[in-house]
Structure 1
Amino acid sequence: MNSKQLQNLKKGLRREERKRLRKSRPRRGRLLLSATLLILFLLLAVWLGREPLARWQYSRAQRLFRQQQFSDAIGHLNWVTRLSSGKLNAQARLLTGDILDLELKQPEQAILAYLTLVRDFPRSPLAETALRRAATVYLDRLDDPAGALPLLQRLADARVADADTVRYRIADSYFRLRNYEQARIEFETLLRLYPQTGRAAEAGYRIGICLLLENRTAPAEKQLRDTAGRWPDDPFGLESLFALAGLYERRDELVRARDLLRALRGRYPDKDLLEHRLGQVEDRIRRKKKAI
């Protein structure tokens, strides 16, 4: 390499170094600005006190939430949880969970926000709300009844005001998991503990369905008959009769099934389904007679 080529190489290297320095300056500037703001923020916290500063951050988060700037709102709520050790901390975590669930569609992160509230503030009135919302996210967003069950059980054990509804959701979760025996036990527990619950007719019907799914047809027949007899005009009383007709049909007791379905005319809410099922049964009866 001659001296001229060497000089050109040096010039090229110097140009590249100048470019690199120009690019790095804005980044260093941003880092310096962030560090300066953090120091000023910490000095402000010392001067004002942590709780007043937390309230200020919470107000900013609420304003950003109303402006639908959800990610920025969560950033300020995170500062609240660092600054406050009291009620405002729990409120910030609950609002964070709500934003993550309903606005940002991040259900797993929402559950984390709710459950850290429950863990760190178990005596807060918001802990019950957070448990409920976490259970709802598991059931309705993630379709994960297994994840919801321990949370629902905690609510049931705490004897919350709507404990009958919580018990119903426990039973329904086991049903969704296809654990029909445990679902039946939970529905029976619901009726035993809360006989006046507004879900009594449905619980009675679903006990009968669980028994059918357990292949226990004799007790299922009795349960469905008892439910229909106790709540004759309730939708689930009528569903019990419809299910009973299906049981008779499977046992090839076609005349009993037909008569029961005919008796439901004008009462069963799904008229088209009733007529379709009745037509099938009557067709089977006709074919059976022809075969004889």
Structure 2
Amino acid sequence: MMRIVLPALIFLQACTLSSEYKQADALVREGKFHSAIEYYLSFVKENPDHERAPLALLEVAKLQETILDDVDQAIATYRSLVHHYPINNSTVQAQEQLAKIFKNKKNDYNQALTEFDKLLRAVPSHENAPRFQLELSDCYTLLHQYEQADLEYETLIELYPNYAELDEVFFKKANNNYIAGAYQKALDDFEKVIHGFPDSKYKIEALFGMGSAYEEIDEFEKAKKFYEQVKDHYPSPKVVEIRLQGLKNRKNNKKI
């Protein structure tokens, strides 16, 4: 009899697991988020080794972060997921969200660096590794560690030469160097955006950046040329007008 009953019990248990998880999903669709979280967590507690357990925890963390706006609890849930389960799609997403929370919501750029570094070490060949590296590079800029940021952007360019958004990398690298006062480096990077990616959405901003960099090194005629080139296309034409007037005033002051 045991040979007949045991498979039946296993089948019933599987149905129960599926039903419990589906109930949590249904509650999410109904907007009953707290109840959904209870179902997901109960499911994980009773079945920690189930293949859906990591995904259930991920769903909980996402609800806590995006719907309930309980960022600290979301951090705890993401950490629990990463700590208790081997690398899989859910843990990678959790680690990425951890890093983004510290970068974009906590403004804790040092901790964000740590989290992005963990992510890159865990999945260096992941399809989104270039994006992770870009986020890490941005953190150094936000920390005003401009030289290190430049190195990290350069690392991204070298490691992922076929990255689809390489124009964004060069543009951010250029801005980083501009902020650092490394105007010649900024000019070189802005030029790479303009000539290497003629259809880039960053092209107009890069042309404006060229004008700004030339203005900083008192190359007024070159600066004017680039400002004139973008004045009818720049998102804020008034800004370009102010820059052009400023150039005129600076040139006159130089003559005096």
TM bucket normalised to smaller: 0.7 to 0.9
Equivalent residue, structure 1, for 2:24:
61
Greater displacement, 55-64 / 152-161: 55-64
**Could you say if the C-alpha distance between residues 268 and 55 of structure 1 is closer, same or farther in structure 2, counting changes exceeding 3 Å?**
same
Encode CA deviations 1:265-291: one digit per residue, 9 max, x unaligned.
4454443322221122123334555x3
| Structure 2 counterpart of 1:188, from 148, 154, 162 | 154
Is the 1:172–1:183 contact (alpha carbons within 8 Å) kept by the matching residues of 2? yes
Is the 2:186–2:213 contact (alpha carbons within 8 Å) kept by the matching residues of 1? no
Equivalent residue, structure 2, for 1:17:
none
Length-normalised TM-score, structure 1: 0.72
Equivalent residue, structure 2, for 1:143:
107
Q: CA deviation at 1:233?
A: 4.9
The alignment yields a C-alpha RMSD, in angstroms, of 2.8
Encode CA deviations 1:210-239: one digit per residue, 9 max, x unaligned.
233333334333333444333345343433
Secondary structure in 2 aligned to 1:116? helix
Amino acid at match of 1:80: F
| Structure 1 counterpart of 2:205, from 239, 250, 261 | 239
Alignment of 1:167-246 (within 5 A): 167-246=133-212
Equivalent residue, structure 2, for 1:3:
none
* Bigger Rg over Cα: 1
Question: Which ranges in structure 2 are unaligned for 5 or more consecutive residues?
Answer: 1-8
Alignment of 1:82-97 (within 5 A): 82-84=45-47, 85-97=49-61
Equivalent residue, structure 2, for 1:73:
36
Q: Considering Cα pairs closer than 8 Å and 6+ residues apart, tell me whether 1 or 2 has the greater RCO.
A: 2
Secondary structure in 2 aligned to 1:87? coil
| Structure 2 counterpart of 1:127, from 87, 91, 94 | 91
Secondary structure in 1 aligned to 2:127? coil
Equivalent residue, structure 1, for 2:118:
154
Question: Which ranges in structure 1 are unaligned for 5 or more consecutive residues?
Answer: 1-45
The whole-number CA distance in structure 2 between the counterparts of 1:202 and 1:219 is 16
Counting matched residue pairs gives: 245
Identical positions, percent: 24
Length-normalised TM-score, structure 2: 0.81
**Could you say if the C-alpha distance between residues 241 and 65 of structure 1 is closer, same or farther in structure 2, counting changes exceeding 3 Å?**
closer
Q: CA deviation at 1:148?
A: 2.7
The whole-number CA distance in structure 2 between the counterparts of 1:249 and 1:55 is 65
**Could you say if the C-alpha distance between residues 76 and 274 of structure 1 is closer, same or farther in structure 2, counting changes exceeding 3 Å?**
same
Secondary structure in 1 aligned to 2:202? helix
Equivalent residue, structure 2, for 1:104:
68
